Amino acid sequence: MKGSQHYQWAITPLSPIHIGCGQVYEPTNYVVDSNCLHEFNSSTIANVTSSQDREELLRIVSKRGSTEMIPAVQRFFMNRKTKIIPLSVQKVPLSIAVADLYRVRAGKVAADQGADLKIFNQLAIDRTAFLQPHRAPYLPGSSIKGAIRTALLHQINRGAAAQTEEIADKKNGGLHKLQGRLLNYSREGRQKLECDPLRQLRIGDANPTGSEMPARRVYMATNRPKAPKLQREQGSSQRAPAASPDQYLECILPQTRGFFSEIEVQDVQAALGSDSRRWADKLPSRHFSMKEIAQACNTFYRPLLEAEIREMQQQEMLDTHWVAEAQDFLQKTKTLMDSGGAFIVRVGRHSGAESMTLPGMRHILIKKGRENPPDIKENATTWWLGAEFEKAQQKGLLPFGWIFVEVREWTSRDQEWGVAPVAFSWTPPKAEPDSKETSTITSAEVVWAQVRLKYNKANGAITAQKENDSATVVRPGSDRILEGLPKDLQQKLSNNQCFAKFTVTVQDRSILSVKPE
């Protein structure tokens, strides 16, 4: 089309990303082994089960009114996982927290609230958007376009307050009137969507690079207050907020240029030329170039990312390795972003209210429990973060939703990118080494002196913290280390009342041995 420019984007996820698709991994359609979820098709079970097995399963599912049916189905598949796993259609790595919860809860009833009312540990895991039939995750173009729209609205509005009639437009949250004014598609007292300038931006879904499955991991989402610890302690007389509900999210992991997308930026007025005057009342009045889009996104999202890292680091919440990698990446790509050749946006669940609303007109609903009316504030009071080890985890957490987009003009689908990427090399910790892996490249062992240990009762993990670094060992290695300590230290460490210091041998963020000092 005349008046159109075509581009290709190379997308690097910078943190875990979950874009919901309305589907879940049901615990009756997966089993867990070696800290991986193995999804299977129930129609294939007949191929690996005996006639007695099938009769047993039929008896279980026939008891539709039984409160034990779902746990019984879970136990049935768990007990036959060695036969089921070879038939699985895919496997997805689990964080240590989710894998441990499955081991503890699957096939069991969580609570008994009477003879006929029970709560089941269904352990359903929300799936991220995926492609059929091979189940690879992707980034929907609509999600990225929505994030870009927010940045462009901010570029136009520049922190101004909403107008009275926009605040009163409660039916649509004020969005139609507000956007119609800012993007100039409010005409003759109504919203003429055909005049929306963002109709000229077409973003294709971002599909995985190559044939390999993009890196994924299932995290437990946990809610953390933004108020600094001292401030929370001073306000401790106030009622504590209710615990956040359990959320298990399949996420795309950070990976350099993991996805590619094709984009068309149209300029309808330029395409029509002199004829555009005839259709002025039906055409967008403005056009956003790719450079304007990139600059608007960087102006809006980059300060949010930098502020979020800074504020979370003040409370020592984040994974220190991820922080170091993210800060180094932002520094190395600064020139490219300043030139409009790349930009940052935030997409998906738990992106944060500030990333989805405009400064100057934010009205964020702060819920305070069923007994108290909600507050309306300019900023959210909590962060949602991905936890690796447990829901109560305080350190080593990860933010959701950040992506980095590189831009180039499109010539053909076979063209090489040409410029080497800035690598984002963060990887999640391993719960247990896989015996099948025989990598000969390992980092050297290091010895940490004068460090204290923390024990996690939920999953048995032992963590050592040294300045801005940490190392962990989980079961069965943590059990062996605990058994090797003197009895009095075992008991104190198990109860998290151990103030002794240890010499710890570490390799690849894993604790190899512990010796009391």
Mean pLDDT across the stretch 316-322? Answer: 90
Residues 6+ positions from 471 with CB-CB distance below 8 Å:
448, 463, 464, 504, 506, 509, 510, 511
The percentage of the chain sitting over the pLDDT mark of 90, rounded to a whole number, equals: 41
State the pLDDT confidence band at 229, using cuts at 50, 70 and 90. low
Mean pLDDT across the stretch 3-12? Answer: 92
Instruction: Yes or no: say if 61 and 73 are a contact pair by the CB < 8 Å rule.
Output: yes
Other beta carbons within 10 Å of 251: 29
Cis peptide before 214 (omega within 30 of 0): no
More confident residue, 336 or 471: 336
User: Does residue 116 have a pLDDT over 50?
Assistant: no
State the pLDDT confidence band at 66, using cuts at 50, 70 and 90. low
State how far the Cα of 261 lies from the Cα of 295, in Å rounded to an integer.
Answer: 19
| pLDDT score at 296 | 97
The least confident of 248-252, 406-410, 475-479 is 475-479
User: Does residue 232 have a pLDDT over 80?
Assistant: no
State how far the Cα of 357 lies from the Cα of 363, in Å rounded to an integer.
Answer: 9
User: Does residue 259 have a pLDDT over 50?
Assistant: yes
State the pLDDT confidence band at 293, using cuts at 50, 70 and 90. very high
User: Does residue 287 have a pLDDT over 80?
Assistant: yes
| pLDDT score at 67 | 65
Amino acid present at 211: S
User: Does residue 353 have a pLDDT over 80?
Assistant: yes
Mean pLDDT for the chain overall: 84
Instruction: Yes or no: say if 130 and 89 are a contact pair by the CB < 8 Å rule.
Output: no
Instruction: Yes or no: say if 120 and 71 are a contact pair by the CB < 8 Å rule.
Output: yes
3-state helix/strand/coil string of 283-296: CCCCCCCHHHHHHH
Q: What is the tens place of the pLDDT at every residue in 176-228?
A: 788 888 998 887 778 888 889 999 999 999 999 877 899 999 999 999 988 76
| pLDDT score at 243 | 58
Give φ, ψ of 511 to 5 degrees: -80, 125
User: Does residue 160 have a pLDDT over 70?
Assistant: yes
Q: What is the tens place of the pLDDT at every residue in 421-447?
A: 999 988 887 755 433 333 333 457 889
The radius of gyration of the chain from alpha carbons, rounded to an integer in Å, stands at 26
State how far the Cα of 31 lies from the Cα of 434, in Å rounded to an integer.
Answer: 18
Give φ, ψ of 335 to 5 degrees: -60, -40
User: Does residue 322 have a pLDDT over 50?
Assistant: yes
State the pLDDT confidence band at 110, using cuts at 50, 70 and 90. low
The least confident of 28-37, 57-66, 253-262, 498-507 is 57-66
| pLDDT score at 442 | 43
State how far the Cα of 505 lies from the Cα of 507, in Å rounded to an integer.
Answer: 7
Mean pLDDT across the stretch 154-165? Answer: 85
User: Does residue 252 have a pLDDT over 90?
Assistant: yes
State the pLDDT confidence band at 333, using cuts at 50, 70 and 90. very high
| pLDDT score at 65 | 60
State the pLDDT confidence band at 242, using cuts at 50, 70 and 90. very low
State how far the Cα of 304 lies from the Cα of 402, in Å rounded to an integer.
Answer: 10
Q: What is the tens place of the pLDDT at every residue in 455-482?
A: 877 667 788 877 767 778 776 678 889 9
User: Does residue 491 have a pLDDT over 50?
Assistant: yes
User: Does residue 1 have a pLDDT over 80?
Assistant: no
Mean pLDDT across the stretch 397-425? Answer: 89
Mean pLDDT across the stretch 160-174? Answer: 68
| pLDDT score at 499 | 87
State the pLDDT confidence band at 134, using cuts at 50, 70 and 90. confident
- The H or E element containing residue 249 is strand 248-252
The least confident of 50-54, 111-115, 269-273, 415-419 is 111-115
| pLDDT score at 443 | 56
Give φ, ψ of 467 to 5 degrees: 50, -115
User: Does residue 139 have a pLDDT over 50?
Assistant: yes
Residues 6+ positions from 198 with CB-CB distance below 8 Å:
145, 148, 149, 152, 183, 288
Q: What is the tens place of the pLDDT at every residue in 368-390?
A: 666 777 767 777 888 999 999 98
| pLDDT score at 385 | 96
| pLDDT score at 240 | 38
Mean pLDDT across the stretch 475-502? Answer: 87
Mean pLDDT across the stretch 474-496? Answer: 85
Other beta carbons within 10 Å of 446: 13
